[in-house]
Amino acid sequence: MEAQPTTEHERECLVEIIAPKEQIRKFFFERHFDFLTSVPQRRLQEMILSSCMKGNSGKMTDFGESGTVHRTTYGHFLAKGKWDDKRLEKTQKRESFQTVSELSHQHGTPLFVSIDDTVVPKTAPSSKAKRPTQGAGWHYSHLEGKVIYGHQVHAAIVGTEDTSLCYSLKRCCPEHGTKIDMTLDIIRSLPDKTGAYVLMDSWYTNSGVLDACREKGCHLIGAMKTNRILYPEGRRASAADLAASLDPGCFHPVTVKGRAYMVYRYEGPLNKIDHAVVLLSYPASAMGRKTALRVFLCSDTSLADQTILEYYTHRWTIEVMFRSYKRYTGLKGFMVRAAKAIDRLLLVLALAHFFFSCGLGRIVSFHIGLHICRAAFVNF
């Protein structure tokens, strides 16, 4: 089912919205994207508005049907068009981060940066294919639980409370380095001393990422594998072995969003990490079950256990973003072959997220903004 406006605040947006084309031109001016010349601006604006149309699958045919020029024009614009996509990406990152950071300061709420990746499946080309899609390969998909053919996309979002914006959406490729390299680049691109909490799953949590967060004045909260080495009372033990050796009375109950957990707090050194908090956590209903153990690292030792786990739940927002992009804006079905065109199309999706959330006169969720634009297109 499509998201519908559910509050008076959101229903008012439907009444007050002006024509989408006028609104997006205003958005480009206010967010400092107007350094682009008129034609690139117009193409980008048309593609962003087209991405909200029902049934859009990211194909150039979809843009051609709802835009003002032929589908081949949009394909050429992405693959060979002369416009400064690097400056546009940098501006989009700065404006997105600043928007959420200001909300965080106004409301006195923590600022989160979530980092993760997803695999966009594609059909494996025949050995006789003359023009296979560039940059695709075989990647392990956690969603599918197997290796599949397609593009691996690395992303970061910045959020606070119920507001989140796409900060970065890039294709994983040798030119961008490994996923850890891309993660380090994102952390280093953040403004200094924001106090943001960087959230990630166990694949990314390591000493290098933690050091990069500390250099930027950020904190890391990340899941860890249960075989990570700790040093309780000076002895060497994996997190799983430590959890198994503890008396159940060493664990204390913690409730996070209505769910009960039993948690043990370790504070001290890890391999290549001088000092951090590590939480060993079981669901209360599966206490002591080896496969139910979850381990979390936090570099902010001042946080209570419940707060650490509550902050980590904000990481789920990036999973929702991936699912929304694949379902509504064509991330799953896009049909461009050139690597440069794919990279630019990902930038268009990040810009679309920004516009649907913040370009309609007030800040709303991505799904509500998408619905508002669809309704506006029907009415105008």
Domain ranges in the chain are: 8-84+335-379, 227-292
Q: Using the CB atoms, write b or e for 162-177: b if 16+ within 10 Å.
A: ebbbbbbbbbbbeeee
How far does the chain reach from its first CA to its final CA, in angstroms? 24
- Of 149, 117, 136, the C-alpha closest to 337 is 136
Contact (CB, 8 A) for 56 and 62 = yes
Q: What's 124's DSSP letter?
A: P
Could you write out the three-class secondary structure of 287-347?
CCCHHHCEEEEECCCCCCHHHHHHHHHHHHHHHHHHHHHHHHCCCCCCCCCCHHHHHHHHH
* Per-residue tens of pLDDT for the chain, all 380 residues: 444 455 555 545 443 445 778 889 999 999 999 999 999 999 999 999 888 887 777 788 888 887 788 889 999 999 999 999 999 999 999 999 999 999 999 999 999 999 999 998 888 776 666 677 788 888 888 777 888 888 999 999 999 999 999 999 999 989 999 999 999 999 999 999 999 999 999 999 999 999 999 999 999 999 999 999 999 999 999 999 999 999 999 999 999 999 999 999 999 999 999 999 999 999 999 999 999 999 999 999 999 999 999 999 999 999 999 999 988 888 887 888 899 999 999 999 999 999 999 988 889 999 898 888 888 765 54
Q: Which amino acid is at 241?
A: D
- Of 124, 255, 246, 115, the C-alpha closest to 188 is 115
- Of 146, 159, 114, 169, the C-alpha closest to 319 is 114
- Which alpha helices (H) appear in 120-204, and where do they start and end? 179-189
Ramachandran sector of residue 258 (left: φ over 0; alpha: ψ -120 to 50; beta: rest): left
Which residue shows structure tokens 């381990």? 295
pTM above 0.75, yes or no: yes
Integer angstrom CA distances of residue 45 from 60, 81, 241, 280, 331: 15, 15, 55, 48, 18
Distance CA 45, CA 199 (A): 32
Q: What's 282's DSSP letter?
A: E
Q: Which amino acid is at 103?
A: L
